[in-house]
Structure 1
Amino acid sequence: MEGGIWRHPRVGTVRNPPGLRSDNSIVTSTVTTTASPASPTPPRSPRADDRQQNRLLKRLHFFAGVVCAPLILIAAVTGLLYAFAPTVEQVTNHSMLTATAPAGTDGTDRLPVSDLVATAQSEHPDLTLAGVRIGGDGETTRVLFSDPDLPESTVQAVFLDPWTGEVKGDTTQYGSSGSLPLRQWIAEGHRTAWLGEPGRLYSETAASWLGVLAVGGVVMWWQRQRKGQAGSPKPSRIRSMLRTGGRGRTRTMRLHGATGTLVVAGMIFLTVTGLTWSSVAGGTIGDVREKLNWGTPSVAASLPGAQEVTPSGAAGAHAGHAGHGDHAMPAGVRVSGLNSGSIDRVATTAEAELRTPVTITPPTVEGQAWTASEDRVAYRLSNDAVAIDWSTGTVTDRLDFADWPLAAKATSWLIQLHMGTLFGLPNQLVLGLLAAAIIAMVCWGYMMWWTRRPAGGLAGPPRRAPWSRPTAGTLVLVTALVVYGIVAPLFGITCLAFVVGSTLWDAARRRFSTPLSTPRR
């Protein structure tokens, strides 16, 4: 108070503030406020700009987490089983898959492959020879037969001791990985949830949302952390994302967020590789690869100077393309090169040119050669292939893995990583830990949803941001989702369904919610 003027820190100046003079008379006061000059509307702060896309991310994460998480959980549980299936298969079928050279021999006195084929054909005289897998050291030889009663990509396999010719097993084999029935059954659950071809939609939906939930979750978790103080080291925010302390829902959220931060790269990897052979998106990706010449090449199986005979009996218009080798011959037409001498010549050349285990495949069209390709086994990063003239045993064409397009090589490696076969048991352990982490995150996500619920109900989605002009961040996010929805149509359809569901939820909440307070009369 100076000269009868009292300065109030918020109101302004007060002349002669109310009180008592020395003579105890009442003092009246006059308040003078100083109006702040009109200021222009402040621009949006970066925090305000981020609020719109952050709330969009939260709502998307909520709806996808609640609805798609069961699909992801099924894929993760079956994936955990499938990760270790190759090793389990080796243990449970050890006697059928392995063979030992007789004592006192050097292991080179194996029976001719044609003798093994003859023995296997006596077990299945009505089936057509589909190939022979010549095993490596200590492995049995598999003679493969086509059976029209078996599912697609499945053949009948007879396992024989290459030294004695003893039949050590007779079962089915699936796909290029040579999966036996147990691994095939687990793979079918992972791929279709044992629902047949329509079930592939489940795995594709789970794969397409897994990466989105991973990236969106890490972005939200990053933004949720408090920035370190000035002068603090930059990694402090990362360390904050990896904290797991606290109690109750806080601890659950931190476990969920920290685990997601650690495995986000693996989840993106599973999405990319899972979509590669999916039902809908896989077709789109395959078309793109073909147009860019990124497809997996194949060895040319045509014989020099020979004419291929198509199922109609006419000369093949596309002679030289091995892709036509799955056509059946007309009734009464026999394909040359399936006699015992041809089989042994081809097998000898294949073992000299390639690494075992190697699979030799007979021609199914007159005028074609046998083909031989190295099998996909652990720690084998390349798979060469040759075409062999069955009449002379000479190589007519060769395709080395080094000559594949880079995209085709990467696709092959990534798929084998996804299947757990590229690096053997270490590969399987990493996949198993990744699957276990995803299972835990799904469970923690539902725990957070459950503990957040109001009394007598279920927790709803986060409130959306008020309608306003879209920010740059929102436009970028929406554009990315639209582009991804085109590449992965099942993601686009379900994402649109979530947007509609979110709108209906808000409308129902406004319509049926009870007012929190009674308006004044």
Structure 2
Amino acid sequence: MTTDELIEPDTAAPAKSARRGSLRPLLLRLHFYLGVFVGPFLFVAALSGLLYIFTPQLERAIYAHELTVPVGQARQPLQAQVEAAQRALPDATFVRVRPGEAEDASTQVIFSRSDLAASHWLTAYVDPYTSEVRGTLETYGSSQAGPVRTWIDELHRGLHLGDFGRLYSELAASWLWVVVLGGLILWWGRRRPAKGKGRRKLLSWHATTGTWVAIVLLFLSATGLTWSQYAGETVDDVRAALSWETPTLPASVPDHGGHGEHHGGGGQVTGANVDQVLNIARGSGLDGPVEVAVPSGPGKAYVVKQIQSAWPTKQDSVAIDPGTGEVLAKLRFDDYPLGAKLTRWGIDAHMGMLFGLANQLVLAAVCVSLLAMIIWGYRMWWHRRPTKGFGRPFPRGAWRSVPKPVLIGLIVVTAALAWYLPVLGVSLAGFLVIDWIVGRVRARS
């Protein structure tokens, strides 16, 4: 199969005319169908991902009144800030607090309420110098995403269609790596350079751009699958089998036999005082931005954890007895299993947080490149049309050119992938059915 066969309109000749013993005809047909049918899903994922990348800056602009404060002389006790927030939200339950790290940052006091969806919170933004509540917002997830970022995030993950909508993003992530690897094999296995004008030029742009961004696209596909609805369960099972799960900190308080006070590492705790707990955590080495979670019930401890996702990652945490101030347990990020570390870094890099602005710019460039490649791909399809309408697919029966041992191996690997990536398997079956129906209709006509 030469480059000319990639460029000239399809004559619908049977694939048996192709060179025997070659995977190229099969890859051409697969790449074509994926471009036509999966391309729109990849386009939406890339476009919504591009919108999400710079939402931290967007939120800082939109919610500047809540997130930033005039710099004052002296900070109020953290407990006083929490109490001010509790007065502003008397119908909500205080669960944790994030002291502002920068001088002009507000303190985030986070509440739960029965009418909120899962992983959604009410956050009060408090001026640390005056204890004034500057506003409240509904936030989402561990990243405390505000309403704008939450809306774009839900658009990217599921088009605001719930679990059904999440199938779109899983479909895109399931096939993206196949599209990328197939495209690389086709481009680097070509017979001669595809130079020239028209479709040849589009093909060169499409393939060269894909080669430059291939590694990042493969990374986005892999990390996207970890969040997916069905393939994500497979990823969780693999991590559990390899003991790569993210460890958790025990937060139960032992029975002290009536002893109620103890001098801990940073101060004395005689009750639920977040200032004392924060001082103890600082004395235990938890620097940088942290979050203090209050005990969830009797017999439970305070949990203080670092929340810095940028490199270097700081995710250490400690459990502190609310009655004695004793540090009950400490969990260091350095002690995480390798798989748990890779998962943490992968998630943060996928969201554009791990390497700051550089991370965002790389992701933005890749998203724009993917959008351009999809547009060029459809344009090439248009160029393949015989006289009018869209171009025909590459010849049917391409599987006949594959050596039988290789074909059997492909079938086995495909079946395994379909089992562990069910959305890929179901959609592949759908492609085959559509292809069969199209073939029958053309044969009759």
Does residue 355 of the first structure (1) align with residue 355 of the second (2)?
A: no
2:314 matched residue in structure 1: 382
Q: Residue by residue, what CA displacement relative to the aligned partner does 1:305-324 show, whole Å, maximum 9, x if unpaired?
A: 279xxxxxxxxxxxxxxxxx
Does residue 277 of the first structure (1) align with residue 227 of the second (2)?
A: yes
Question: How much does 1:486 deviate?
Answer: 2.0
1:387 is paired with a residue whose SS is strand
1:298 matched residue in structure 2: 248
Counterpart selection for 2:174 from 199, 208, 220: 208
1:48 is paired with a residue whose SS is coil
User: Root-mean-square deviation (CA), in Å?
Assistant: 2.1
1:159 is paired with a residue whose SS is strand
Task: Please say if residues 88 and 133 of structure 2, whose CA atoms lie closer than 8 Å, have aligned partners that are also in contact.
Answer: no
Deviates more, 1:64-73 or 1:474-483: 474-483
2:273 is paired with a residue whose SS is helix
Percent identical across equivalent pairs?
41
Give the Cα separation in 1 of the matches to 2:70 and 2:282.
19
Counterpart selection for 2:303 from 354, 367, 371: 371
Gap change, CA 1:468 and 1:184, over 3 Å in 2: closer
1:126 is paired with a residue whose SS is coil
Matches within 5 A, 1:324-343: 341-343=272-274
Does residue 432 of the first structure (1) align with residue 364 of the second (2)?
A: yes
| TM-score normalised by L of structure 2 | 0.88
1:224 is paired with a residue whose SS is coil
Deviates more, 1:451-460 or 1:435-444: 451-460
2:423 matched residue in structure 1: 490
| TM-score normalised by L of structure 1 | 0.76
2:377 matched residue in structure 1: 445
Give the Cα separation in 1 of the matches to 2:31 and 2:379.
15
Q: Residue by residue, what CA displacement relative to the aligned partner does 1:451-474 show, whole Å, maximum 9, x if unpaired?
A: 211224432221133747743443
2:81 matched residue in structure 1: 116
Paired letter, 1:133: R
Counterpart selection for 1:177 from 143, 146, 157: 143
Gap change, CA 1:341 and 1:468, over 3 Å in 2: closer
2:339 matched residue in structure 1: 407
Gaps of 5+ in 2: 1-17, 258-268
Matches within 5 A, 1:101-180: 101-102=71-72, 105=73, 109-138=74-103, 139-180=105-146
Task: Please say if residues 350 and 360 of structure 1, whose CA atoms lie closer than 8 Å, have aligned partners that are also in contact.
Answer: no
Question: How much does 1:197 deviate?
Answer: 2.2
1:510 matched residue in structure 2: 443
Gap change, CA 1:292 and 1:501, over 3 Å in 2: same
Does 1 or 2 have the higher relative contact order (CA < 8 Å, sep 6+)? 2
Give the Cα separation in 2 of the matches to 1:380 and 1:371.
22
Task: Please say if residues 131 and 361 of structure 1, whose CA atoms lie closer than 8 Å, have aligned partners that are also in contact.
Answer: yes
Does residue 248 of the first structure (1) align with residue 198 of the second (2)?
A: yes
Gaps of 5+ in 1: 1-45, 227-239, 308-337, 513-521
Paired letter, 2:281: A
Task: Please say if residues 106 and 126 of structure 2, whose CA atoms lie closer than 8 Å, have aligned partners that are also in contact.
Answer: yes
Q: Which has the higher helix share?
A: 2
Q: State the number of aligned residues.
A: 414
Task: Please say if residues 121 and 138 of structure 2, whose CA atoms lie closer than 8 Å, have aligned partners that are also in contact.
Answer: yes
Give the Cα separation in 2 of the matches to 1:472 and 1:172.
57
Counterpart selection for 1:199 from 138, 147, 165: 165
Paired letter, 2:369: A
1:391 is paired with a residue whose SS is coil
Paired letter, 1:343: V
Give the Cα separation in 1 of the matches to 2:436 and 2:378.
22
Does residue 75 of the first structure (1) align with residue 75 of the second (2)?
A: no
Q: Residue by residue, what CA displacement relative to the aligned partner does 1:313-338 show, whole Å, maximum 9, x if unpaired?
A: xxxxxxxxxxxxxxxxxxxxxxxxx9
Give the Cα separation in 1 of the matches to 2:31 and 2:390.
16
Give the Cα separation in 2 of the matches to 1:202 and 1:151.
22
Gap change, CA 1:469 and 1:376, over 3 Å in 2: closer
Give the Cα separation in 1 of the matches to 2:63 and 2:374.
34
Give the Cα separation in 2 of the matches to 1:262 and 1:382.
31
2:350 matched residue in structure 1: 418
Structure with higher Rg: it is 1
Question: How much does 1:278 deviate?
Answer: 0.6
Paired letter, 2:128: P
Give the Cα separation in 2 of the matches to 1:261 and 1:478.
27
